[in-house]
Structure 1
Amino acid sequence: MCTLASLSLRYYSTKTAPQLPGMEYQDAICTLNTLQTNASALQQVRRERSNPQLQLQAMRGFLERAGLTVEELDHLNIIHVTGTKGKGSTCAFTEQILRSYGFHTGFYSSPHLVQVRERIRINGQPIGKELFTKYFWQVYGRLDETKDAHRGMMPAYFRFLTILAFHVFLQEKVDLAVIEVGIGGAYDCTNIIRRPWVCGISSLGIDHTQILGDTMEKIAWQKGGIFKTGVPAFTVRQPEDAMAVLKDRAKVIRSPLWVCPELDDYQADCGPLHLGLAGQHQRSNASLALQLSYTWLQKRCLPDKHVSSTSAENTSALQATSFKLSPVMVKGLADTKWPGRNQTLRHGAVTYFLDGAHTMRSMQACVHWFRETAAQHERTASGPVTRVLLFNSTGERDSAAMLKLLVPSHFDFAVFCPNITEAIASCNADQQNFNVSVENMLTRCLDNERSWRLHNDQGNTTQLLIEGRLVPDRKPDTLVFPCILSALQWITQGRDSVLADPAQRVLPVKASITAKAAPLCEAAEIHVLITGSLHLVGGVLKHLDPASSK
């Protein structure tokens, strides 16, 4: 069983890695996961939502209790990035470019796909288990020591990881830290950063409406909250209403705001640029990353001749100028990797298309990418191809609306499952983050008259609404499975040897479900689109790339 060590954390030095029994990596993960459901933490969140300013005040308090100060964060040379769609990809491009120049980089992002260590990266790699364990107990120990004097309060999961990331980057003496905002910007816990070197805002859209508001203007106001006086900020082209708010926020805060040019406007000796991340929408993310990295480099290398865009007198967004790309920048764009986003994996006769699209705009981009990429694969297929959708949606998102966007892609099967990797409970505490029931998604899509019919593994049927309309002529067979692994094994029908580990056990599939697999067995190839949730994509990658769990 996963338990915190019985020995008090007060009796070990926070300056060295703990050596006491029960304070190993798995125990750190179990302890971290308790911060997700702590009752006092939930009460704190409710109080703070009524007064968002309390969020940053609380974060500063937790930071100080962990032995850090906001002044120390000034030395991390931070690039701070927010947005609705593409902020993680923008950060990945930016970090890769600056790492290609030889800088020692830190990168904090969320969510993780397989293991929580992915959120905190040094030189592009997830922090190792040994370092994670060492720094986890240092930070947790300091907070635990002081909780009695603060009504037993401990930071919630994301806050703790943010503090841990800052601590890791300071201890590892990174040259810069690329920090991705969690949710929003103005009141996100990463916004205790006082003096970033440059800020970025990727494409905006409607998401997290219960927290950020239900209009583009409200969401843009939150995102623009990361602007800082005199600190240059860049954004991609935004909807007119969102851009108006960003301009106003920049004016009030006195942050110079610049709009990125099109990627084609940059000059390069190599001809057309190649991006390591697939999808047309990545081109605006790449342009934003170029502006962020170029601005950071100028401040680093020419501190007395900083970019002209840093004048705090700018009162509206200006058009940022393109520039000639260095070979290092070109290589950085091409070498960028960001798993689970427009990612293609081929395992023999089965090709997986993975994209954690979870908003309407990101799903539109996903559909465009999938249509183009799948069509290319189908042109070279050895025979008939069967298309399968594996979908899951979590939280407050409109699952039905996203599914409607996927209907024209003409899937032969639509498969649903919860974010549970295996039906048999896993011993890996990292997977506690995936325990989201499929019913949460299905109950938001119920309708008794107009639907796809869902056949679940217990022989029952449920109705799934598609925006109040009947699915067009070609209706896919639609099934629900109890876990990700059982869904994958049914889809692939033994054609993917990676999924054939005898140690993996799943609940048996009923004969009525097995009988529906004839098109899969007869197809020369199987193409599977996995989308709707990054947690789903992460659970799939855990099985398709077992090394990612080590």
Structure 2
Amino acid sequence: MYLFKARWSVTHLFMRRFSRRTYGDAIAELNSAIRNITFSKVVDHERMKREKYGVVLSYLEALGISDLELSNLHPVHVTGSKGKGSTCAAVEAGLRNLGFRTGLLSSPHLISVEERIRIDGKPIDRDRFSEVFWDIHDKIAKHVRTLALPPPSFLHYIVLMACHIFVSEKVGAAIFEVGIGGRFDHTNFLKQPAVTVVTNIALEHTDLLGPKLTDIAWRKAGIFKKACPALIPEDLPADVMQVFVNEAKQVECPLYMVPRLEDISLANGGLIIEDAEFAPLFRACSSDAMPLGVINLPCSLAVMELWLQSFGKVKQSHEIGLQPPLRLQVSRAQVQSAVTARWPGRWQKVSRGKITFFIDGAHTLESLQKTAEWFQYETSKEDSRPSARVLLFSLLGSRNPDTMLRLLRTVISPVFDLVVFVDPHDKQFVVFPGKRSLDAECLETWEALKTETALIDEYGTTAYRVQDLSAFLCWLEQLRRFSRTTLSSYGEVIDKENVQLLVPSPQTVAGACSVPVWDKQYASCHVLVTGSLYLVGATLKALNEPV
């Protein structure tokens, strides 16, 4: 296992002139916190608790935020290998539309760090972000010196800012998204959440969470709290299910499984899958085309139901361990809110002239399978005329590109006309430890896969790396026609020092370069953007798409 080990210089971080109070200075200070985080191998769970989230309790006390104030937020604590962000968004939208003031803490951000903290569905603005950051910075600085506390890390700051803002805004429903795992996550300071949620279990972050599904389940089960209802998926392997059952018994909480969509009823009678308004949506959706809100609908509705029970609106169970199946009767407004909840970067389509971008962050093999199926289905509906296909892909950290790229090569048909691997990191922020771009490894892997007989297409797909994503997308939007020849003309030369982009020629932009007889020319282009959420954010930023 690994732990973020911080090496701090109190003088460097806190002995700054208090006159510096700009947003840019706040970002610089947060960057300095990122720079001082390194990985170290430890197996001391008590130490991990203390250094990850235990210290948050000391910070909150220093800020004057009490357990009662946190309890009054009626928090929903959400973890999962996939679907946690979109579930958070659906629950937030549903509770907001029921009349509750909502707060949402999510991660990572796509474009700007202030996106991580939202009130009533909207990110806080930069002025508020800066004001709250420096207020917390100054208060914590005094206690760091007098109580010998470690200065907060980047993630500590974000959590503290969210709590401060939620309390000051008198939020009645606060949703906290776990960063990684759960048991030792920075968000696991909550003592009395209204509901804890595990959306999904898959192999992810195995270097941090462990190599087996049961290891990952144990980490995620760590957010369960005494007497607080916990919700888990219903389609788990027996050994994984047992991990959650054991944890629920140990912490003494009721444990529920997400109901099937077929078992959810509307409050005024009838199943939602048979309702005149909703049935067409469900019938039209095969598993590979189902909108994100529909996929997560049973979980989102179950969270809202358990939250309302804990809030005192509905009778709540006080039993311990696995409970009988939930029988949900939900309002039409709850279903509409969950299905239509907006969560940028997840199964999102963006059109720019002749180009349609299909954008979805998918960092696990299971997620990528769904992304590939969604892309296949959506592009088949787009137009009766064929379009060129481009893949923008990025992986970070210690993930293995082979299985993910092999999946894309086998599932996507027709094959891509161009594949581009990107280092997505925004130079405004220092890169987190363990988040190194694997664009070079991805390119090497793709080229190796091209030699396998079963995966060869007749003329081969050009693949290269791009450092300046904005420049590439700008160039792509200028093309009049799309063919493999024109798409491959935006190449790179690699010298001994670094990678430099070739400047596209006017002839290439105009599509006037010589195109072989076999090379099809298309009037439109479909671009699949997937892999790391950092790439998703970089793409949305380059397209000037609001988040």
User: Against the structure 1 CA distance between its residues 510 and 330, is the aligned structure 2 distance closer, same or farther, given a 3 Å change threshold?
Assistant: closer
Which of these residues, 139, 142, 150, is aligned with residue 142 of structure 1? 139
Q: Does the 8 Å contact 1:181/1:190 carry over to 2?
A: yes
Are 1:472 and 2:456 counterparts? yes
Pairwise CA distance, 1:542: 0.4
Q: Quick one: structure 1 residues 443 and 224, their matched pair in 2 at CA, closer, same or farther if it must change by over 3 Å?
A: same
Where does residue 497 of structure 2 map in the other structure? none
- Residues 418-429 of structure 1: pairs in structure 2 closer than 5 A: 418-420=423-425, 429=428
1:245 aligns with one of 243, 246, 254: 243
The 1:363–1:188 alpha-carbon spacing in structure 2 relative to 1, beyond 3 Å, is same
CA distance in 1, matches of 2:432, 2:276: 43
3-state SS of 2:38 partner: helix
Please tell me the residue identity of whatever aligns with 1:42.
Answer: T
- 1:433/1:101 CA distance change after superposition, 3 Å: farther
- The AA in structure 1 aligned to 2:294 is R
- Aligned residue type for 1:394: L
Mapped pair 1:53 → 2:49:
yes
Structure 1 residues 356, 524: closer, same or farther in 2, change over 3 A? Answer: same
Deviations 1:40-74 (A, max 9, x none): x4389969779423233233233333443444311
Distance in 1, matches of 2:451 and 2:54, equals 42
C-alpha spacing 1:142/1:5, structure 2 compared with 1 (3 Å):
closer
Equivalent residue number for residue 392 of structure 1 = 394
1:439 CA displacement: 6.0
Counterpart for residue 293 of structure 1: 304
Question: What SS does the corresponding residue of 1:103 show, helix, strand or coil?
Answer: coil
Equivalence for 1:16: none
- Structure 1 counterpart of 2:126, one-letter code: K
Residues 276-425 of structure 1 correspond to what in structure 2 (within 5 A)?
279=290, 282-302=293-313, 306-307=315-316, 310-313=317-320, 315-323=321-329, 325-379=330-384, 383-408=385-410, 409=412, 410-420=415-425
Task: Tell me the residue number matched to 1:82.
Answer: 79
- Cross-structure match for 1:525: 524
Q: Matched residues in 2 for 1:50 and 1:360: separation?
A: 32
1: CA distance, partners of 2:396 / 2:262? 36
2:221 is equivalent to residue 214 of structure 1: no
Is the aligned partner of 1:535 residue 2:534? yes
For 1:509, which of 503, 513, 518 is the aligned residue?
A: 503
The residue type paired with residue 356 of structure 1 is G
Is the Cα contact below 8 Å between 1:385 and 1:523 reproduced in 2?
yes
Aligned-pair identity (%) = 32
Secondary structure of the residue aligned to 2:34 is: coil
Whole-Å separation in 1 of the counterparts to 2:245 and 2:450: 38
**Contact 1:230/1:255 (8 A) holds in 2:** yes
CA deviation after TM superposition for structure 1 residue 495, in Å: 6.2
**Offset at residue 391 of structure 1 (A):** 0.4
CA distance in 2: counterparts of 1:361 and 1:486, whole angstroms: 31
8 Å contact from structure 1 (residues 5, 23) kept in 2: no
CA RMSD of aligned residues (A): 3.4
Offset at 1:437?
9.1
Instruction: Give yes or no for contact 1:257–1:318 (8 Å, CA) kept in 2.
Output: no
Mapped partners of 2:515, 2:122: distance in 1: 42
How far, CA to CA, are the matches of 2:185 and 2:401 in structure 1?
Answer: 26
Question: Which of 234, 259, 267 in structure 1 is aligned with 2:257?
Answer: 259
- Segments of structure 1 that go 5 or more residues without pairing to the other structure are 10-19, 454-463, 497-505
Q: 1:61 to 1:348 in 2, by over 3 A?
A: same
Question: Take 2:463 and 2:311, find their aligned partners in 1: how far apart are those partners?
Answer: 55
Structure 2 partner of 1:119? 116
- 1:509: how far off? 3.2
Mapping for residues 456-495 of structure 1, pairs under 5 Å: 464=448, 471-474=455-458, 475-494=460-479
Conservation of the 8 A alpha-carbon contact between 1:359 and 1:397: no
Residues 102, 174 of structure 2: 8 Å contact kept: yes
Q: Which amino acid aligns with 2:457?
A: D
Q: Is the 8 A contact 1:91 1:180 kept in 2?
A: yes
Unaligned runs of 5+ in 2: 1-11, 265-270, 482-499
Distance 1:413 1:437, change over 3 A: farther
| Distance across 2 between alignment mates of 1:434 and 1:212 | 17
Query: Among 155, 168, 172, which residue is 1:158 paired with?
Result: 155
Deviations 1:390-439 (A, max 9, x none): 00100122222111111031111111121146xxx6xxx3x555999986
Once the two structures are superposed, what CA deviation does each residue of 1:196-248 show, in whole Å capped at 9, x if it has no partner? 11111101101111221110001111111111121111122243132221122
Residue 21 of structure 2 is aligned to residue 23 of structure 1: yes
Q: Is the 8 A contact 2:289 2:377 kept in 1?
A: no
Cα distance in 1 for residues equivalent to 2:390 and 2:39: 42
- Cα gap change, 1:100/1:5 in structure 2, threshold over 3 Å: closer, same or farther? same
Cα pair 1:412 1:477 within 8 Å, conserved: yes
Deviation track 1:129-167 (CA, whole Å, cap 9, x = no partner) reads: 121111111111112233334657312211221111111
**Paired position in structure 1 for 2:38:** 42
Q: Is the 8 A contact 2:21 2:131 kept in 1?
A: no
Contact kept? 2:397, 2:436, Cα under 8 Å: no
When the two structures are superposed, what TM-score results if normalisation uses the length of structure 1?
Answer: 0.81
Deviations 1:75-113 (A, max 9, x none): 211111111110111111100001111211001110010
The structure-2 alpha-carbon separation of the partners of 1:203 and 1:282, relative to structure 1 and needing over 3 Å to count, comes to: farther
Q: Is the 8 A contact 2:35 2:430 kept in 1?
A: no
Paired with 1:442 and 1:176, the residues of 2 have a C-alpha distance of: 43
Structure 2 CA distance, aligned partners of 1:537 and 1:226?
A: 28
SS in 2 for 1:36: helix
Cα 1:286–1:437, aligned 2, differ >3 Å: closer, same or farther? closer
Contact 2:398/2:434, CA 8 A, preserved across alignment: no
Question: For 1:335-377, what per-residue CA distance to the aligned partner results, in whole angstroms no more than 9, with x for missing partners?
Answer: 3000000001111210000001011111111111111111111
Aligned partner of residue 408 in structure 2, secondary structure: helix
Q: How far does residue 23 in structure 1 lie from its aligned partner after superposition? A: 0.9
